[in-house]
Chain A
Amino acid sequence: MSRLAVVTGAARGIGAAMCGRLVTAGFDVVGVDVAADFSGVVADLTTDDGMAAVLEAVDSRGGVVGVLVNNAGITDDARLVNMSEEQFLRVIDVNLGAAYRLSRALAFADGAAIVNVASRAYLGNFGQFNYSMSKGALVGLTRALALEMAPRVRVNAVAPGLIGTEMTMAMSAEVREKMVAAIPLGRMGRPEEVAELIAFLASEAASFITGEVIVIGGGRGL
């Protein structure tokens, strides 16, 4: 399998942890992020220019991908009755459109693996019609690509619950405490724990697993 990996949303949180984990596993990692101060490929994956920048970076490093982690994601919460079309589309474009377009655009090696980072919110979450729909659709994409790309490429998804990232730390302490209280394991997850699960799904150890969604949320869905 190619040792070239692509990770989107790589500047921080789960994406940054994933890059570190893949480097440790011996991968040449193309990290992609929209943050201007990011040291990897700075690209907005909702644009054609951004997509071209990623493809150029991949081409310059052999062109054939062994692992793709579609991790780029944003939130823009509001109750449905108050949500604007702009809010809706901003989230759909980043969380779903970028993953779909990148999965279609890249060339994959035999034995490659795609891991899509969905969210436990695909099971439903108040104030997140846009986010929940985008992550549910990402699960649909996972299932369809798993069928379409088998047996050459495996495609799976992870659905993290409350993870200690910048996105969740932006919530008020009160909201966070309430959410943690509903988690049987009694804490937020760590980005490294999600990265470990993704690394497993991307590895030969998961060679008979495709089309799955694995929730990593400390038992919150029970």
Chain B
Amino acid sequence: MTPLDLPPGAFLAAVVPDDWESVRVELTRAFEFTKQAAQEGVPVVYVVRSEDLFGRRGACPAMIACGLLSAARTAGIEGLKSGWSVNILAVDEGVVDGEVERWAARLTEGGGPTGELVRLGGSHLGRLQP
């Protein structure tokens, strides 16, 4: 995934080295990003790799992706009354050009779903959702 031209409310999970400090920094970056977006009312979408939700690329990417999924669910609850939305987009390798941007744009328009996991690609089919 080589993004791309994402909207301001999109948070692309970084590829991190396999160490705790890097995970800590990335989760903190997500926290600060989401808090600022909440204060400004900007809809958020986290963008992660699908296989990281299943732990297939190691512990550190999995902690970040699954942490962001839970963050989207909780932030979704907190933003419900005000109409502020937070979603998460999980992308398979090989998704066609433009699809990530298109879905990220749609999910940051606001007024749509919130706390929702949207998947591009089919690698999740037949597998347990986190």
What is A's interface to B at a CB cutoff of 8 Å?
Answer: 79-81, 83, 85, 88-89, 92-93, 96-97, 100-101, 121-130, 132-148, 211-213
Contacts and interface: CB of A to CB of B under 8 A. Distances in A.
22 contacts: A79-B78, A80-B34, A81-B38, A89-B24, A92-B24, A96-B63, A97-B24, A121-B70, A123-B73, A124-B77, A129-B71, A129-B78, A133-B27, A133-B74, A136-B69, A141-B59, A141-B63, A142-B55, A144-B55, A146-B55, A147-B56, A148-B55
A11 to B, nearest CB: 24
Interface residues of B, number: 40
A136 B70 contact: yes
Contact of A126 (B34, B55, B71, B74): B74
A213 B66 CA distance: 13
B128 to A, nearest CB: 8
A140 B20 contact: no
A79 B73 CA distance: 14
A123 B74 CA distance: 8
B53 interface: yes
Interface of B: 20, 23-24, 27-28, 30-32, 34-35, 38-39, 52-59, 61-71, 73-78, 115, 128, 130
A64 to B, nearest CB: 21
A125 B68 CA distance: 14
Contacts of A134: 67
A212 B35 CA distance: 31
A211 B66 CA distance: 13
Given A100-B23, A143-B54, A126 B75 contact: no
